[in-house]
Amino acid sequence: MAVYLKNGLFDPFKEVQQHQQQLEANIGKGQYGASAVFIGSMRDFNEARNVSSMTLEYYPGMTESALEVICQEAKEKWPVLDTLVVHRVGDIQPNDSIVLVAVWSAHRGAAYDANRYIMEALKSRAPFWKKETTASGGHWVEKNTPA
């Protein structure tokens, strides 16, 4: 189970590959039959506005622990072998990856369900706040879009 906050670009596919190699080193190859990977990226539009860039504020300490609690909940609800969450903070440009959630389990059902659970819980409980920059200035995003 790992949680990382990154202040700068990250390659989600490389993160998944590295974490999976570590997982195989820890529990051996052939243990997982399913890896569910979700990657969220920054759009250049939101609520009918063109967005040129964005800043993600967070609460150092609480953000990490909230994400760890969410992943732990997922492990208690489903037979999950491992989880990885990576989230950007700071300044972000359109098309940048913002969030990665990866879940490894023996079967696809648990991997899909746990991945969705972590992502939705992150959206409603992890302390991150987006401030978008548009032609008319900076705007705090008031609420997340529906799934």
Partner 1 sequence: MAITVKFFARLREELGMDEVQLDFVAGLTTQQVWQNATRQEVLPAKTLVAINQQYASEQSLVKDNDEVAFFPPVTGG
**What residues make contact with partner 1 under the rule CB under 8 A?**
40, 56-59, 61-62, 65, 87, 98-99, 119, 122-131, 140-144
Q: Write the CA distances from 99 to 3, 104, 136, integer angstroms.
A: 11, 17, 27
Of residues 34 and 131, the one with the C-beta less far from partner 1? 131
Q: Which is nearer to partner 1, 22 or 41 (CB)?
A: 41
Q: Least CB distance from residue 10 to partner 1, whole Å?
A: 15
* In the complex, minimum distance from the CB of residue 128 to partner 1, in angstroms, rounded to a whole number: 3
In whole angstroms, the minimum distance from the beta carbon of 63 to partner 1 comes to 8
Q: Which of 19, 130 has the CB closer to partner 1?
A: 130
CA dihedral 105, 109, 115, 117 (to 10 degrees): -130
Identify which of residues 75 and 130 has a Cβ nearer to partner 1 in the complex. 130
CA atoms within 13 A on the CB side of 135: 4
Calculate the CA dihedral of residues 21, 22, 25, 26 and round it to 10 degrees: -140
Minimum CB distance to partner 1, residue 125 (Å):
7
Helices (H), 1-147: 12-27, 62-77, 108-125
Distances from the Cα of 68 to the Cα of 28, 29, 44, angstroms: 24, 25, 30
